C-alpha cells in the first residue's frame, strides 16, 4: 500500500496563535537592570528570559491546542479540544491594570492535565472561542464527558 500524501490525514488548519506578554517577567527586567550596574553579565540572563518567553507559543487549530516552548530544546504538547474538562479565567489585579489574564485549561489528558496560559491578552474572547471549539469538537467526534469516581 502506497500513501501518496501522508500528511493529508493529519491536516489541521491553524486558527489562532497566542503568546504570553512580557509583562509576566517585567520584574526580572527591573531586577536585572538594577543588578547590571554592579554585575553587567546579569544582562545575559535577561536576554535569555526575553527570548525564552518570545519562543513560547500556543497554536489553536481546528482539532487541538499545540503548546510550543523552548529556546534551545523545544517541547511541544498537544491537547485535543474534546478532552478539555474546564476552562478557568483569572484576572489578578496587576494583570488587569495592563489588560492581561491567566487562562487555566483542565483536561483529561495524562501527559499534561493542566495547561496554563499566563499573561494572555483578550482572555474573555479566548475563553468563548475555546467553548465554541470544545462543543464543536465533541459533537464532531461523538464524545460525551463522563467522570468515574472510586
pTM recorded for the entire structure: 0.81
Question: What is the model's pLDDT at position 12?
Answer: 74
Show the low-confidence residues of the chain (pLDDT under 50).
1-6, 8
Cα 24 to Cα 70: distance, rounded to the nearest angstrom: 16
Question: What is the model's pLDDT at position 1?
Answer: 35
Cβ-proximal residues to 50 (8 Å cutoff; 6+ apart), any chain: 22, 25, 29
Question: What is the model's pLDDT at position 33?
Answer: 86
Amino acid at each position: 500500500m502506497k500513501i501518496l500524501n501522508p500528511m493529508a490525514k493529519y491536516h489541521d488548519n491553524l486558527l489562532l496563535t497566542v503568546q504570553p506578554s512580557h509583562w509576566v517577567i517585567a520584574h526580572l527586567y527591573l531586577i536585572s537592570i538594577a543588578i547590571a550596574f554592579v554585575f553587567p553579565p546579569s544582562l545575559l540572563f535577561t536576554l535569555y528570559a526575553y527570548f525564552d518567553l518570545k519562543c513560547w507559543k500556543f497554536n489553536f487549530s481546528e482539532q487541538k491546542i499545540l503548546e510550543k516552548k523552548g529556546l534551545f530544546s523545544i517541547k511541544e504538547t498537544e491537547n485535543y479540544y474534546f478532552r478539555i474538562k474546564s476552562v478557568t479565567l483569572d484576572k489578578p489585579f496587576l494583570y488587569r491594570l495592563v489588560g492581561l489574564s491567566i487562562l487555566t485549561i483542565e483536561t483529561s489528558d495524562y501527559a499534561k492535565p493542566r495547561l496554563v496560559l499566563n499573561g494572555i491578552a483578550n482572555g474573555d474572547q479566548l475563553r468563548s472561542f475555546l467553548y465554541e471549539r470544545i462543543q464543536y469538537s465533541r459533537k464532531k467526534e461523538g464524545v460525551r464527558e463522563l467522570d468515574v469516581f472510586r
